[in-house]
Chains A and B, each alone.
Chain A
Amino acid sequence: MKKVGVFVCHCGTNISQTVHCEKLAEAAKTLPGVAFSTEYKYMCSDPGQTMIKEAIAEHGLDRVVVAACSPRMHETTFRKCIDSGGLNPYMLEIANIREQCSWVHSDKDKATAKAGDLVNMAVAKVLKNEQLPSSFIPVHKRALVIGGGIAGIQAALDIADTGYHVDLVEREPSIGGKMAQIDKTFPTMDCSACILTPKMVDASQHPNITIIPYSEVEKVDGYVGNFDVTIRRKASYVDSVKCTGCGLCSEKCPSKKIPSEFECNLGTRPAIYSPFPQAIPNKPVIDRENCRYFKTGKCKICARVCTADAVNFEDQDEMVQIRYGAIVVATGYTLYDHSQYGEYGYGHYKDVISGLEFERLVNASGPTMGKIKRPSDNTEPKNVVFIKCVGSRDKARGHDYCSRACCMYTAKHATMVRDKIKDSQAIIFYMDIRTPGKNYEEFYLRGVEEYGVTYVRGRVSRIYEEGEGENRKLIVQGEDTLLGKQVFVDADMVVLATAMEPQPDAAGFARKIGISYDQNNFFSEAHPKLRPVETLSAGIYLAGACQGPKDIPDTVAQAGAAAAKVVALLSKDEMETEPIVAKVDTDRCSGCGFCIPICPYKAISFTDLTERVHGSVAWGPTGKEVKRQVANVNNGLCQGCGACTVNCRAGALDLLGFTNEQILAEVDSLW
């Protein structure tokens, strides 16, 4: 006979102040199948768990209902508890009488009645529970990191240091990402390149890291422990093995006036180029769009000057398929395009620039050799105005969210202006100043107190140009909300702290690799607090700004966390899979295949079934063997989402642990 134990938790007073826990436990005793029922202040605590284990032994319980908080909180805890008590961990049901009852009600009697119903349902369901066995799948001990910015580099290094092989895929010709473009880092004012490039070198020289530059992930098949990833190596037209990186080709290339992406279009580059001098790998690629040979069919100067014979105009994109056990997604961010702000000149004013452009202007290896010069006429700006929250915290045209790093980098920029141009003025228009990081507030105050940066609280309503030639200047019109007055500020240059936003192809990429993304197209973590680096797809982890706006310290920390998760996964020879997966009743399956396209994890496929036909089939043969197609679920891929089960009209698909019978038993128990 089935014996259910019901354990009611007070959760301190979280539950007991709205639900009569004693009455609830008492009432549960009368439910069919319940052999034991009790209550305790903290069921999840050690004495609480011991109580459950002892009751299992003493009363011979074979299934357990815990009436407590949400299963998302402690289902795993109690599964482990009954497991060590000798039961299959899936002989457990949680009645959520906290989030779904005590927290949302105030009338104690009614809440108790509702809690009674919830317990009633859980008991009805647990009576239909069956022991679910875990299965094991092998783990392929190799990791893939997608994106070679600081997040990807850090994650790759941390994984590689533990002895596992990592492939680092980067779509640009060099790793380094946005951090390579930045001049200095707050709050220490370390030179960005000085702390990044050694890491890039470490990555390139690490025996366990293979950098796959100028390549993109095309397709991800398979499942945790066994991802089959197709990577497209884009044609670079330069044989990276033969090339010595001497740079002669770039020097001699006749097409030199191409705006450099790395310099935010403030500088130029040739058609055969390496993005920056410290690039890794330092092997050039040919930009087919702008190459004279590809445009006119004549030139080939680079091929002629190359002593290593490395230039190959016949190069083609190449697809490679590699198997990985785990994936870290570190695809980073891009910046909001301020040309959507009409009042800031739609991007037409040359001297209204973005923060990243400013980074290039102050960078010693940048287009101005580190001298701050305004782009329109290369003169030194005296009055520099900074505007924060351009595209951030702006529901109308930009994003709802705060981009987090802008307050700090604007403080950094203003400090740098005051430091480099002694007779300058730096004025920052702000909505709020957010400095929640170690030594951040001090950094901001130093800018104000020691460098004399001026902060004006208010939004800028308009920027317009006045004057001609040397006298040309920008007028910044805004409200000083602390004075309650309109202010007009003459500016030689305006720097906009534009929002961080996901890469333009983020949503498509997420769909391609099978992870979810939020309304802003940032990739979603599995749980905002408790699982911040995991995605909902097992074996795929997130690092850096692809998950949400982040500064460098947070990115590095998250990359380390993601690496730890990867290592934990790869350290096992085989992995226990969640047994809550879909199961096919082949007797009911007609092989229509409707579940196949609906499965977001590509876990369902056809399989041939040979069976003997019995009885009197209308016109069919009897006692004959027939072969037909039925659906088959790959337990490794299935995440137990249940999409297939609701799509199966005949109910041939069922989700173990949430079977149709169990759900109907819950519903029926209410009447």
Chain B
Amino acid sequence: MKDTVIHATNTIAIRHEMRNIARNLLEIQAVDLILGWKKGILPNKSAPAFIHRPDQVDDLIFDEFCYHNLTKFLLGCPDRQDRIADNEDRLKTAIFVKGCDSRSLIGLIQDNQITRENVYIIGIDCPGLKEEHNTTILAKKCETCYTATPVEYDILIDSPDKRPENPNGLKGFQAHRDLAKIENMPPAERGAYWQQMFQSCIRCYACRNVCPVCSCKECCFDQTLPNWVGKGNNTSDNGFYHLVRAMHVAGRCVSCGECERSCPMHLPVMLLNSKLGLSIEELFDEPPASMNFDVTATLNHFKPEDPEEFM
């Protein structure tokens, strides 16, 4: 819809505009819930904010630690289910999105999990986030960013500080230095690397639960009939878990980095996703996942000109 653009000159101004927009939306009763960010309890951490009333809007902030991709909260919003239940035109939910978040929002809409009309999208031009342990370093996930400006919004808070956009896809990005490093390892060492990672995993499923493209009603890892993957916490079953998860989000992952952020063991969970993303990019001549409504996930449609090297 990309209706309105508001210009903000710096972070303070962005925050000011956020609060103004939020207050207005609640006062005119256009929405009954606003998903945003607030200051966290720990330093260098921000937290999701759920704003129901105009007097809460001053909690809203935007800083270099607003990692949270809030879109997944939309799946659990009472608003969403109630509306379906009552089939009546109730109030909407408003949500603040960065560029990467907006892509996962499109993904959720493409996956038929939410409807566009039920969400009011407030986009923010993203300057790139910072690592929480070293605030001078750009967050790793932001190195591969395609979209500093959200690809979809109802209203956009535009900022001159926004990170320059990279039109070249995943190839050649710095964040993939990790990937390149692993791919260059001798097979035994590489095997050991993954074994080490799978061994350290505690199967808490945080990476799955936080992932905005994991929207299945009953995840295959929770099913017992059939028992796809062993439920035990051991290297082999953990490995299966990570590989299957990577396959299930392949072609839809928007590199929002939530999986890696939420991992309590600080495992490089994004690596497998990046590898598959890179392969898809090399194989198919298509834009990255969820860049617009018209192109569905690469692995979910076929075209006559798709490569068929195996045929």
Contact = CB atoms under 8 A, between A and B. Distances in A.
B217 A588 contact: yes
Interface stretch (B80-88, B155-163, B264-272): B80-88
B85 A588 contact: no
B226 A593 contact: no
A651 B85 contact: no
B304 interface: yes
Nearest to A627: B84
B216 A613 contact: no
A661 B112 contact: no
Interface string A622-635: 00111111000000
Contacts of A613: 81, 85
18 contacts: A587-B217, A589-B217, A590-B113, A591-B112, A591-B113, A592-B112, A593-B112, A594-B297, A594-B300, A597-B296, A613-B85, A619-B78, A620-B78, A620-B82, A626-B84, A627-B85, A650-B220, A651-B223
B244 to A, nearest CB: 9
B30 interface: no
Given A598-B301, A619-B78, A625 B218 contact: no
B226 to A, nearest CB: 5
A133 interface: no
A661 B225 contact: yes
B217 A649 contact: no
Contacts of A628: 84
A647 interface: yes
Contacts of A620: 76, 78, 81-82
B248 interface: yes
Contact of B218 (A508, A587, A591): A587
Interface in A258-286: none
A381 to B, nearest CB: 44
B228 interface: yes
Interface in B58-73: none
A651 B218 CA distance: 9
A592 B215 contact: yes
Contacts of A626: 81, 84-85
Contacts of B248: 649
Interface of B: 76-78, 81-82, 84-85, 87, 111-113, 215-220, 223, 225-228, 248, 296-297, 300-302, 304
Contacts of B217: 587-590, 650, 652
Overall SS of chain B's interface: loop
B104 to A, nearest CB: 14
B62 to A, nearest CB: 25
Nearest to B299: A647
Chain B CB within 10 A, most for which of A508, A629, A651 = A651
A2 interface: no
A433 to B, nearest CB: 34
A621 interface: yes
A618 interface: yes
Nearest to A586: B217
Nearest to B77: A619
Interface in A612-671: 613, 617-621, 624-629, 647, 649-652, 660-661, 664
B218 A588 contact: yes
Contacts of B77: 619
Contacts of B81: 613, 617, 619-621, 626
Contact of B219 (A592, A593, A650): A650
A625 B304 CA distance: 43
A51 interface: no
Contact of B85 (A507, A590, A621, A649): A621
Interface in A446-464: none
Contacts of A594: 111, 297, 300
Given A592-B216, A650-B217, 11 more contacts: A511-B304, A588-B216, A588-B218, A588-B223, A590-B216, A591-B113, A592-B113, A594-B111, A621-B78, A647-B300, A651-B226
A661 B226 contact: yes
A594 to B, nearest CB: 5
A570 to B, nearest CB: 33
B85 A625 contact: yes
B302 to A, nearest CB: 8
Contacts of B300: 594, 597-598, 647
A508 B225 CA distance: 42
Nearest to B223: A651
Interface string A84-128: 000000000000000000000000000000000000000000000
